[in-house]
Amino acid sequence: MLKTMDYDIIIIGAGPAGICAAIYALRANQKTLIIEKETIGGKIASSPLIENYPGIKAIKGPELSEQLEDQIKQLGGKIEFGEVINIQNKREEKIVITKNKTHKAKVIILALGTKYKKLGLPEEEKFLGKGISFCATCDGFFYRQKTVAVIGGGNSAMANALELANICQKVYVIQNLDHLTAEPMLIDQIKPKENIEIITQASVKQIQGEEKVTGIVIEEKGKEKTLTLDGMFLSIGQIPETEIISPLIKLDENGYIVTNEQQMTNSEGIFAAGDCVKKNIRQLTTAVSDGTIAALSAIEYNTK
């Protein structure tokens, strides 16, 4: 039999948006539960260095994640690890079902975050964890003094490339556009690295290998060529983790949650915050902004 517990607010996701929302909720004496299926801090837990957060000149992602967890614990907050498999809105109460528990709350805040986008090649799933990675901070150690490729040209790709350049013998950066799209500051840090080679106007057509990745075939400016590799890191963007809430919550054409200015969704009493929300800019600072608004709106909703 599933165990049932009651809360004022349930927050699904313990990334920056979810943690920020929890801080405001706990400080307002709302009985709050945070449910996280993977890692506290979300994507920032795997960030090698964060330099764009006000008041903190530079901090490693794992360190910031630890501080977020400590802050929740100091406020008496509860973080439960588990995967949400169903959400129901019964007007007066919201029901959140995980694999072994059922929780009830007056309000839900969805801080579901995003997951890494894949290339869509047929052999890709086979090589996940066997030469295909997403996080240099997490997996870079396995490629010490080896040759790798980073696929992508944005901020996350540059961060991965910089991290890997300190470990690997050779790092290819493969970008499908004719220019890198990362912040100029990151691009400036890449340029002096002699072991980084940037290849633009190129896309991956095939992943080679038997038990693990041994190379890739790319098409560069209309011509195919093979790069011999020990591994590759995908940094081509992210997609929202919103499968569990459809059709309960209105999503845009790309799967992001549609909210109003109070971060409320079309389903009354269910709010959303962070990278899973439809918006133009997704940064650490915009995530905590969403979390603040969602929490304050949820608190007001609960006290009507």
Q: Which two tokens stand for residue 32?
A: 């709050």
Helix axes 284-302, 16-27, angle to 10 degrees: 40
* Separation CA 89–CA 300 (nearest Å): 18
**Beta-strand pair 93-98/101-110:** antiparallel
Q: Which amino acid belongs to residue 86?
A: N
Contact 238/115 with Cβ under 8 angstroms? yes
The catalytic site residues sit at 135, 138-139
**CA quadruple 179, 180, 186, 192: dihedral sign:** negative
**Residue written as token pair 């220019």:** 179
* Separation CA 21–CA 86 (nearest Å): 21
Residue 159: Cβ within 10 Å count: 24
- DSSP track, 27-90: HTT--EEEEESS-TTGGGGG-S-B--BTTBS-B-HHHHHHHHHHHHHHTT-EEEE--EEEEEEE
Q: Of 112, 42, 34, 113, give the one whose Cα is nearest residue 73.
A: 34
Burial of residue 102, with CB atoms counted within 10 A of its CB: 0-12 exposed, 13-18 middle, 19 or more buried = middle
